[in-house]
Chains A and B, each alone.
Chain A
C-alpha cells in the first residue's frame, strides 16, 4: 500500500518522522545537522574538552563517573571507549526494562568481565510495568514509557546516591532528530529539560500515578519513583553533569560496533522484521519488544526500522538515496510475532490494539491493518517470558 509520504531526497525519512523539516531543495534538517557534524565541528577541541572533563572528575568521588548501560552497541562502545582511552573507574548502571534478550545478556556478562567494572542492575516491579505500558499505549500508542523514563532518570538517581556528578550517556539526539541540532555547538546533556521534552512522552511519573491509581486498584506513589527524574535542588547540590559522549567524539555506528566486536567479542543478533544484511552493526537488538514497537511506528507513521537504519547509512555515505529507497520499499514494515506477546502482557485483543493505534495515526499516513508481510520469528522467540493473559 503506497502512501505517497513526502520524503527527504537524501535520507528518505518521511514527513511523519518527528521533528523532520524539509528545506526548499528537498533535503532535511537532520541531514543538514549531520553534514555540519562531519564538516564544521572542531572535534579536536571537543576531545580536549573531554580530556579536561575526565581529569576534573578523576579520583575525586566514589567513582569517576556513572555509565548508564544496556549491553547494546552504544553503551558498550561508551564503556569500552572511556575505559580504554582514559582508564577511569566507572560505576556501570543498568535500568532493566524487562525485555532483555539472551545475546545481549551474554554481551553484558562478557563486557563487564573483560573490562572489570562495578555494576548495578535494577529491575522495576513488573506488575507496575504492565500497568504503565497499557496506559502509555492507550494515550500515546507508545508502550515504552517505563523504559524511556527509567533509563534516563534511574542512573541519575544512582549518581545522587553515590555522590558522583559525572554521567556519560552515549549517542546524542542530534544524530537522528532535530530536538537537538549539531549546529548549536553545544554539549548535549540528558538533563531535566531533555527528560521533560522528549523522554516522558508528555507524561511524568506524577501524571502517570494519577492516571493509573484507581479506587478499586490503588497504586502506591512509590511505585512510580523509578520513572521520576530526581529533585532539581539535590542535583544542583551535586553539580550533576549528564553528558552525551556523542558530543565529544564523532559518533559512527559502524565503526563503534566494529571496535567492540573486535576488542570485546560483542555479538550481533537477529532483529525482528529487519533482514540481517541491513543490520550488521547491531541496531536495537537489546529488547524483544522491538518488533512490536517498530510495527506500531509503521502503522502510525508509514516507515519503520529499515528506513531508520538506512537513513544513517545514507548520511554516512554507505548507501545512496536510491538504494535506500529501494531497500525501504522492499523490506520495511513487517508484522511481528512479538505482537502476540505484547497483547498478552497488556490484555488487549488485536482489534482493540488497532483501534488505539488508529486514533494516533500521524497524517497523511494511512495504515494497513491487514499487512500480510510477516516478520520471521527470531531464534530466541520461544525463550521470551509469556503470561497467561490471552484475550482472543
Chain B
C-alpha cells in the first residue's frame, strides 16, 4: 500500500538554510549542502527546497545547490521560489530536481500552468497555496508573493480550481501556523484532502511527531512538509518514521 510521506522543507536565503515564524524572523539553520547530506544519510522520503529570495543571484545559488544535491543524494527533490516561466522550470529540472513548486505564478497565470503540465508532465508540477485566516471576515484567504499580498481567493476553492489544471500535487501552507510548532490546520486539510482527487501536501505548524500522527489519522493528506520540526526539535526523519509506525501509520521501509 502507498505509504505516507514526511518532507523536510529547506528554505534558502543568502546561500544558507533558514527558518522563521509566520514567514519572517529567519534564523540560520545550516549549510544547504551539508543539510542535504544529512537528510540523505537518514533516507528521507523526499526533500523540498524553497528559495525565499527568488532573485537572479539566489537562483544561481539555488541551481548550484540542486546540482550538488542531485550528485550527493538520490531521493526525490522538489524546488520552489519565484518560478515564473517554462525556462525556469526547465533549468531547475535539468539541474536535477524532480518537481517544481509554483505559488504566485500559478495564481496569476493559469495558462502558464497548463503549458508547464503539457511540457513537463503533471508529475513534475506542485501548486502551492499559502493562506492566512482573516478574522475580519472569519475566513481563510490566499496570500501570494511570499505572504506579502492578500488576495480575495479562498484556499479550498482555489484547490479545486488547481485540481482541474491536471497538476501532480497541491501544497497547502498555513502562514499563521508557520514556525509556531503548535500543530497543523486539520480542518482545512480534512476538507481539501477529502474533496480533491490529487494528493495534498500539508505544511505549516508541525512541531512534534503527534502533530504528524494527527494529520494522517484525521485527514487524507498524502504528505506532511516540516521545517521547524527538524531544525528545532530533537527529531529526525528516521525517528519520525519509527514513531508514526508505532501509531499505526504506514511509513516507508528501508530495509
Which positions in A face B, CB cutoff 8 Å?
Answer: 6, 15, 18-22, 139-142, 178-179, 181, 183-184, 192-198, 200-204, 206-207, 210-211, 300, 359-364
Number of B positions contacting A (CB below 8 A): 32
Q: 26 pairs across A/B with beta carbons < 8 Å?
A: A15-B246, A19-B239, A22-B246, A139-B232, A142-B234, A178-B242, A194-B41, A195-B41, A196-B34, A196-B38, A196-B40, A197-B38, A197-B42, A201-B234, A202-B38, A204-B30, A204-B37, A207-B31, A207-B34, A210-B28, A211-B30, A359-B181, A359-B232, A359-B233, A360-B233, A361-B208
Known: A194-B41, A204-B30, A360-B235; 11 extra A-B contacts, CB below 8 A, are: A20-B242, A183-B255, A195-B41, A196-B38, A201-B234, A202-B231, A204-B38, A210-B30, A211-B30, A359-B181, A361-B208
Given A204-B38, A207-B30, A359-B232, A18-B209 contact (CB < 8 Å): no
Set of chain A residues within 8 Å of B243, measured between Cβ atoms: 15, 362
Contact in complex: B208, A18 (CB < 8 Å) = no
In chain B, residues 12-40, which have Cβ atoms closer than 8 Å to a Cβ of chain A? Answer: 16-17, 28-31, 33-35, 37-38, 40
Contact in complex: A206, B239 (CB < 8 Å) = no
Contact in complex: A206, B40 (CB < 8 Å) = no
CB distance from B115 to the nearest CB of A (A): 39
Residue B41 contacts which of A184, A196, A207, A359 (CB distance < 8 angstroms)?
A: A196
A196 to B245, CA, bound (A): 23
Contact in complex: A207, B35 (CB < 8 Å) = yes
CB distance from B63 to the nearest CB of A (A): 20
CB distance from A186 to the nearest CB of B (A): 10
B238 within 8 A of A: yes
Contact in complex: B38, A181 (CB < 8 Å) = no
A362 to B242, CA, bound (A): 13
Given A21-B246, A197-B238, A363-B34 contact (CB < 8 Å): no
Which positions in B face A, CB cutoff 8 Å?
Answer: 16-17, 28-31, 33-35, 37-38, 40-42, 181, 208-210, 230-236, 238-239, 242-243, 245-246, 255
A18 to B239, CA, bound (A): 6
A147 to B16, CA, bound (A): 25
Give the nearest-CB partner of B232 in chain A. Answer: A139
Set of chain B residues within 8 Å of A364, measured between Cβ atoms: 210
A382 to B232, CA, bound (A): 34
Contact in complex: B209, A204 (CB < 8 Å) = no
Contact in complex: B208, A362 (CB < 8 Å) = yes
Contact in complex: A211, B28 (CB < 8 Å) = yes
Contact in complex: B31, A21 (CB < 8 Å) = no
Set of chain B residues within 8 Å of A300, measured between Cβ atoms: 234
Give the nearest-CB partner of B208 in chain A. Answer: A363
CB distance from A204 to the nearest CB of B (A): 4
Contact in complex: B255, A140 (CB < 8 Å) = no
Contact in complex: B232, A19 (CB < 8 Å) = no
Set of chain A residues within 8 Å of B235, measured between Cβ atoms: 360
Contact in complex: B255, A181 (CB < 8 Å) = yes
Give the nearest-CB partner of A180 in chain B. Answer: B255
Set of chain B residues within 8 Å of A200, measured between Cβ atoms: 38
Contact in complex: A20, B246 (CB < 8 Å) = yes
Set of chain B residues within 8 Å of A21, measured between Cβ atoms: 242, 245-246
Set of chain A residues within 8 Å of B208, measured between Cβ atoms: 361-363
Contact in complex: B209, A184 (CB < 8 Å) = no
Set of chain B residues within 8 Å of A206, measured between Cβ atoms: 30-31, 33-34
CB distance from A216 to the nearest CB of B (A): 15
